[in-house]
Amino acid sequence: MPQATRTSAIALLSCLALTIGTSAQADSSSDPACGARGQLLDHRVTLRLSAAELADLLTSSPSGQHLMRMAGAPACGVEVVYFRYRTIGGAGEPTLQAGH
């Protein structure tokens, strides 16, 4: 596999991992109206796959097989975490947000 293709695939997987692993942290001192800004309200694991389970999942579809040809077999597992937190909305109002 060409080095540029492998590097691109690794960069794509890294971006995906960073997106999934985003954590919500904010400075609550910036807005006294919302003293709990950035407060984590809830979090739970919604999906957990070992490296072998992830490889099996990827080999079950043509696009997954293509990704494995480009990036290689998974070296570790994946964990998707749901989280919900307090933040400030566009109009300055306290609001809740969630993500995976």
pLDDT, one tens digit per residue, over 7-54 is 555 555 555 554 554 444 444 444 454 456 788 888 899 999 999 999
User: What does the domain layout of the chain look like in residue ranges?
Assistant: 3-99
The strand pair at 94-99 and 78-88 is best described as antiparallel
The rounded distance, in Å, linking the Cα atoms of 93 and 100 is: 23
Structure pTM? Answer: 0.52
User: What secondary structure letter does DSSP report for 49?
Assistant: E
Token duo for residue 77: 């597992």
The rounded distance, in Å, linking the Cα atoms of 12 and 20 is: 12
Residues 6+ apart with CB under 8 A from 55: 68, 73, 74
